[in-house]
Amino acid sequence: MRMFFLLLLASFGVLLVDASSSDVQGIYSLVQRLIPQHQNSFTFNLVEGKGDVFTISDTSGSNGAITVDCTTTSACARGLYTYVTEFGGVDIYWTGSRLNQLPSELPPVGSPVSGSAIVPYRYFFNTVTFDYTCVWWNFDQWSLELDWLALRGVNLPLAWVGYEYTLEQVFLEAGLTQADIEDYLSGPAFQAWNRFGNIQGNWGGQLPQQWVDDQYALQQQILQRMSELGMTPVMPAFTGFVPMAMADVYPNASIIRGSQWSGYPSTLTNVSFLEPMDPLFATLQKSFITKQQQNYNVTSHIYTLDQYNENNPLTNDTSYLAGVSAGTFASLRAADPEAIWMMQGWLFFSSESFWTNPVIEAFLGSVPNDGMIILDLYSEAAPQWNRTGSYFGKDWIWCELHDYGGNIGMEGNLPAVTTGPITALDYPGSTMKGMGLTMEGQEGNELVYDILLDQAWSAAPLDINTYTASWVSRRYPVNPLPAAAQEAWGILSSTVYSNEDPNTQATIKSIYELAPNLTGLIDRTGHHPTEIPYDTSTTIVPALRLLVQAVEENPELKCVPEFVYDVVDVTRQVLSNRFIDEYNTLVATYNSTYATPDTVAAAGEPLLAILSTLDSLLATNEYFLLSTWIADARSWAGNNVTYANYLEYNARNQITLWGPTGEINDYASKAWAGLVGGYYTQRWESFITYLEDSVKNETPYNSTEVADAMLDIGEHWDLEIWGQRAGETWGVTGNTWDVVNEVLGQWT
């Protein structure tokens, strides 16, 4: 059979490349890392051909060995993934790789199986993922992530780490002082928005040089691994955002002040922007790209460059905007003759009234069609490719955003994710060239993201029921797998994960994560919804009961990390939804004519009981711990306690106040043990006490007074050091199943 395949390739003019080629050595290394017991069982051959194509087959004359023939390194990785999932029944997750659970005797393929990508680009990362999720990662964590990406066929990941190292070199060469630069750069947990030109400067202390240097070293490792895995990293470029001192050094340069962002004071926003029409822009661009290439020995020609992310241009005059884009692109090509400009299309959605079609066309029109790639960032809910006629001829990528701020809430629209890309690809005149994931935070709902990357290898929309059943079988590799587990996911995939309500197309934020108030918490829509678009009693609750039934039928499931994670997550969602019911009761009790301090206190007790139970639940699982987030942050400081405390403040502030005085309060909220019990509970206790006192003293509700009290709690909590509070621990505590049974008995 293998000889037949080789002859078939030859008949189409396809030639084999030497199997020892260094282009596939990275895939052999991946096998060594993840499947060491089978490191000699796989053979990878590069073959000539168009696109990303692979064929997996049994190795001729060798029992239990597998050959993957592929046209690219990325296709090799995807071919390996197809084998381990479809034949080996194992998978890799954000919670860890399970590929080492492949059978000792590898299952045969039989008739060769081929696959091909339907788009040339499979993209990954949002600019802000590097803060909401990856900010504290070390290389071991990055290694798992990159292996996960490679196996799923991602070949175009964003590579933002270490940007400040090169930027510092450019600014120093341009005549700025180290103090000028330090005043401009933002803290580790907020660097993405400094890069976007939304914020400047810092709160909680200046960015230490050690952070800049350590991230530079980390980026060297990341880029090396990306190269080994056949990926083309999307590299940063000079955007035009500069420290305020640049105007003093270059008084004749065209430097303007940008717009205010999210209510920040002018000292922290209104970032200075060097207009691309100015010759200094091209000089700095050349300096940046040259130094970046020297620092990392990188060969990528694709550059991420966003100048107007939630930051409107000086004017919507079309000739002005055409000049901006023309100057920007000319600077890229002057520094790198093969440069391609990649930009996020988020601005066309978030500032739709500004970016009308004539304005978009003028801005994009100054760049040749083959010189730009646009990320249609929120394609599953708010696509912009359709209203712009495929971005007026530019190449673009269909992206799924879904998760804002790394929020943890169950939701998804599998019908949109499977049919949307195919519809867009087949649309007359479509210039779609890729599919990708651009979630702001990588938290939960893994099914929703897996299916899109798999859809990139299927010309027809994937069948949701069939896909989910196969996904569950791999995720819970026990024999036998109880039917109850499949039934649970059948319910979830057809309801919670098939949410077509246009008002709630994003992860659902739990209202206990919001600053307490009498109004404005429930039934929020948009991309930070709190509205629950399904009936909890007929979806989440029976799914949880079925998962518990499954573990009773086969206790081996308790040893499957992904199963335990899912049980905790579903239980978490039950409690989150029940909190809404109890909140409504509290508000109604307070507003009633018969309210007394006692009745208000009684109505508040269930809310606090839910938070206590929830914190205990989350504490039983390593993936729902605030202490992990803080420990990862502090680990970068080694034995430097002052530096570690600075990093912890950054870590705490991002997931709470998100700014010195709560500028985008609770945006990046999380359902984590320690955060629920130590922060959210404190706020709700204060709120309930305030309502009791309001009734007792017959004083009207004052929302400003409540907000001030919540801000005070946040400011004090952000300055704390983990472990100083009684009961704070660094690891898992308690028993998952005890808490789950408690929830089933009391809250379902």
Query: Looking at residue 16, what is its pLDDT?
Result: 34
The length of the chain is 748
Residues 6+ apart with CB under 8 A from 692: 597, 600, 601, 604
Evaluate whether 19 touches 29 at the Cβ level (below 8 Å).
no
Say which amino acid occupies 740. V
pTM over 0.85: yes
End-to-end CA distance of the chain: 56
Evaluate whether 382 touches 352 at the Cβ level (below 8 Å).
no
521 is written with which tokens?
A: 């918490």
Look at residue 414 and give its three-state secondary structure: helix
Q: Which residue has the tokens 């678009």?
A: 533
Pick from 16-30, 195-209, 459-473: least confident: 16-30
Average pLDDT over residues 725-744: 95
Residue 13 has pLDDT above 70, yes or no: no
pLDDT class for 64, splitting at 50, 70, 90?
Answer: confident
Going from the C-alpha of 407 to that of each of 190, 381, 443, 528, 668, the distances in angstroms are 17, 17, 7, 9, 6
Evaluate whether 394 touches 388 at the Cβ level (below 8 Å).
no
Phi (first) and psi of residue 396, to 5 degrees: -150, 165
Evaluate whether 327 touches 365 at the Cβ level (below 8 Å).
no
Going from the C-alpha of 617 to that of each of 8, 621, 626, the distances in angstroms are 57, 8, 13
**570-606 pLDDT, tens digit each:** 999 999 999 999 999 999 999 999 999 999 999 999 9
Mean pLDDT of all residues belonging to the chain: 95
Average pLDDT over residues 519-548: 97
Q: How many CB atoms lie within 10 A of CB 11?
A: 8
Evaluate whether 576 touches 529 at the Cβ level (below 8 Å).
no
Strands laid side by side in the 255-257 sheet: 241-242, 272-274, 255-257
| Calpha distance 155→384 (Å, rounded) | 24
Evaluate whether 331 touches 339 at the Cβ level (below 8 Å).
no
543 is written with which tokens?
A: 């799914």
Evaluate whether 382 touches 411 at the Cβ level (below 8 Å).
no
Residue 4 has pLDDT above 70, yes or no: no
Q: Put residue 175 in one of left, alpha, beta given phi > 0 → left and psi -120 to 50 → alpha.
A: left
Q: Could you give the domains of the chain?
A: 24-116 (3.30.379.10), 121-462 (3.20.20.80), 487-747 (1.20.120.670)
Strand partners, 241: 273
DSSP 61-119: T-TT-EEEEESSHHHHHHHHHHHHHHTS---EETTEE-GGGS-SSPPP--S-EEEE-SS
**176-189 pLDDT, tens digit each:** 999 999 999 999 99
Of all residues in the chain, the percent with pLDDT exceeding 90 is: 95
Look at residue 375 and give its three-state secondary structure: strand
Alpha helix stretches (DSSP H) within 440-560: 446-455, 464-475, 483-494, 540-553
Going from the C-alpha of 83 to that of each of 1, 34, 86, 279, 355, the distances in angstroms are 17, 14, 5, 53, 46
| Calpha distance 17→15 (Å, rounded) | 6
Whether the link from the prior residue into 480 is cis, omega within 30° of 0, is: yes
**311-368 pLDDT, tens digit each:** 999 999 999 999 999 999 999 999 999 999 999 999 999 999 999 999 999 999 999 9
Alpha helix stretches (DSSP H) within 157-233: 163-173, 178-184, 191-195, 209-228
Residue 394 has pLDDT above 60, yes or no: yes
Residues 6+ apart with CB under 8 A from 353: none
164 is written with which tokens?
A: 């400040």
Average pLDDT over residues 697-707: 97
Say which amino acid occupies 725. R
Query: Looking at residue 727, what is its pLDDT?
Result: 86
Query: Looking at residue 366, what is its pLDDT?
Result: 97
Q: What is the C-alpha R_g of the chain?
A: 27
Evaluate whether 172 touches 287 at the Cβ level (below 8 Å).
no
Query: Looking at residue 1, what is its pLDDT?
Result: 36
